[in-house]
Amino acid sequence: MSTLLVPYYEHPSVRPAEWDAIVAAAPRLYGVVLNPASGPGEAPDPAFAEVAARLRAAGTRVLGYADTDYGRRPHADVARDLGRHRAWYGTDGAFLDQVAAGVEEFAHYRHLASAAWAAGYTTITLNHGTEPHPCYARVADLLVTFEGDWTAYRAGPRRPWPGTGARVCHLVHGVPAGVDLAATARERGASVHCAVPGTGDHPWGTLPHTLEPRR
């Protein structure tokens, strides 16, 4: 079972070797998050279109990134981003970021999921970054119930998320080389994960140690 989700937010023309390494690892991946400009951008980017086509040909999911601002971003704006991702990059999965976790916002995300399905998406990932209300599993294939640094992850709850109906993912940055996050994530109920060494404001500009290209 493919267990690695890769959110890699660097341009293919700037980091071609890293993108080559991601494509080469396709059989091991749950999917790759495509994020040209904090979303699809205002026009198609040929470099991202090319790498998306290579990823699809290699057999991995390509997830289009859309920020939801914890339910504050208008439905139409998020739906527009998802439509552009499908039209420009052929994404088959949606990665909704900054997703609210409370039951009060669930109706908003149910409508966004309906828009994603109507646009042709086959999988939906919701990045709460924390444990959400179990109702969100009704509209998602994958729930990110932790996003944060290695120090916080080690100190966090060791029990599995109590919800059912969707796979669980943990995204951890600042992870030292040699750490087997997959084993720790499984113990905490996450069958999908990503562990990168990056820190600071842009940790997802680094790859997991296991994917780093040889120089």
The residue behind tokens 């828009």 is 115
Specify the pLDDT at position 2. 81
% of residues, the chain, pLDDT over 70: 99
Over 90: is that where the pLDDT of 157 sits?
no
The residue behind tokens 């991995």 is 60
**Nearest alpha carbon to residue 65 among 122, 108, 124, 16:** 124
**Nearest alpha carbon to residue 85 among 35, 160, 155:** 35
Specify the pLDDT at position 215. 61
Over 60: is that where the pLDDT of 28 sits?
yes
How do residues 46-81 score in pLDDT, each as one tens digit?
A: 999 999 999 999 999 999 999 999 999 999 999 999
In order of 125, 130, 147, the CA distances from 99 in angstroms are 10, 9, 12
- Contact criterion met (CB below 8 Å) for 96 and 68: yes
Cα Rg of the chain, angstroms? 16
Q: Which amino acid is at 185?
A: A
> What is the pLDDT of the chain when averaged over all its residues?
96
Of residues 214 and 64, more confidence is placed in 64
- Report d(CA 184, CA 180) in Å as an integer: 7
User: Residue 209 has which token pair?
Assistant: 């140690």
Going by pLDDT thresholds of 50, 70 and 90, the confidence category of residue 213 is confident
